[in-house]
Amino acid sequence: MTTAGPAPHPHLAPHVSAALHHDPSHGYLHSVETGAAVDGPGMRFVFFLSGCLFRCSYCHNPDTWKLHNGRRVDLEQAVAEVRPYAGFLRRAGGVTVSGGEPLMQAPFVGALLRRLKDEFGLHTALDTQGFLHASVDDAWFDAVDLVLLDIKHSDPQAYHALTGQDLQPTLDCARRLAALGKAMWIRYVLVPGLTDAPDDIARLADFVATLGPAVQRVEVLPFHQMGAHKWTDLGLDYPLAATPTPTPEATRAARAIFAARGLTVT
């Protein structure tokens, strides 16, 4: 006897919907971090989930690309991993779900965030590039206090060359979150020779400025080589092996472009 797979989501291409994990009772977890200070406000417990449709040239976690390479974890197990830290996190920070791409496992992530909110009263954050936002309805975001939205480039062709996917769904996600009044931190990785052209940064800054007060800050994140060894370990050719970290002057210049639009920048 065979069983049918999940029905394609009406707002996603069938091949994309078929690649997603649709079961809210369990998910696939790459790793956790219990004392993160860069993935949302305060100290964070971070779930790094497996699975991503992007193949970013500068990805520092290529070991998260394949969904089922992660550890299978039931919803109750995931909640139990947070429980010992809940009292501290309620005072000091909260929980962030990252990846990979969390929306690859949206039903599981939604159930997890709701449990963390209802049982522990924790601040929750979603770290995403927004490409799959059409797979969830507006109510899904009710359990999300903050979205860390990664916008990787402002030019559609350059974005596709960098990630292997289209830019428009991410821009649509940003506009949707703004319409919902959902707090956002916009993240932009500054990569010499790829994302550091002033005109490209200005184009993105102009777009972000249209999103209004939902954007609490813009984080300009200097490219680094800390994930290069993972590409080697996986037998992959790392295309940015010779790319340097941006200079402090280049980082300040990029931040100044966002700040000139009245945006809070870090």
User: Is the confidence at residue 155, as pLDDT, over 80?
Assistant: yes
> Which positions ≥6 away from 5 have C-beta within 8 Å?
18
The backbone torsions φ and ψ at residue 199, rounded to the nearest 5 degrees and listed phi first, read -65, -40
User: Is the confidence at residue 93, as pLDDT, over 90?
Assistant: yes
CATH of span 14-259? 3.20.20.70
Q: How many residues does the chain have?
A: 266
The backbone torsions φ and ψ at residue 29, rounded to the nearest 5 degrees and listed phi first, read -110, 130
User: Is the confidence at residue 2, as pLDDT, over 60?
Assistant: no
Give the least confident one: 127-136, 143-152, 225-234: 225-234
Mean pLDDT (the chain, rounded): 93
- For residue 225, CA distances in Å to 98, 229, 236 come to 20, 8, 15
The fraction of the chain above a pLDDT of 70, given in percent, is: 94
Write down the pLDDT at residue 44. Answer: 98
CA 190: distance to chain centroid?
A: 16
pLDDT higher at 242 or 187 = 187
Which element (helix H / strand E) includes 152? Answer: none
Pairing of strands 93-98, 123-128: parallel
- For residue 184, CA distances in Å to 4, 130, 147 come to 37, 12, 5
pLDDT category of residue 159 using cuts at 50, 70 and 90: very high
pLDDT tens string 175-222: 999 999 999 999 999 999 999 999 999 999 999 999 999 999 999 999
> Which positions ≥6 away from 115 have C-beta within 8 Å?
75, 79
Write down the pLDDT at residue 59. Answer: 87
User: Is the confidence at residue 136, as pLDDT, over 80?
Assistant: yes
Write down the pLDDT at residue 8. Answer: 46
Write down the pLDDT at residue 13. Answer: 67
User: Is the confidence at residue 265, as pLDDT, over 90?
Assistant: yes
Name the residue type at position 197.
A
* Strands of 81-240, DSSP E: 93-98, 123-128, 146-150, 183-190, 215-222
User: Is the confidence at residue 18, as pLDDT, over 90?
Assistant: no
> Which positions ≥6 away from 249 have C-beta within 8 Å?
none
Q: Please give the Cα distance from 62 to 7 (Å, whole number).
A: 28
* Strands of 129-210, DSSP E: 146-150, 183-190
Give yes or no for a contact between 51 and 98, defined as CB atoms under 8 angstroms apart: no
Write down the pLDDT at residue 3. Answer: 37
Write down the pLDDT at residue 126. Answer: 98
Residues facing residue 98 across a β-bridge: 48
Give yes or no for a contact between 25 and 74, defined as CB atoms under 8 angstroms apart: yes
pLDDT tens string 50-86: 999 999 998 888 888 899 889 999 999 999 999 999 9
pLDDT higher at 58 or 148 = 148
Gyration radius (Cα) of the chain, Å:
18
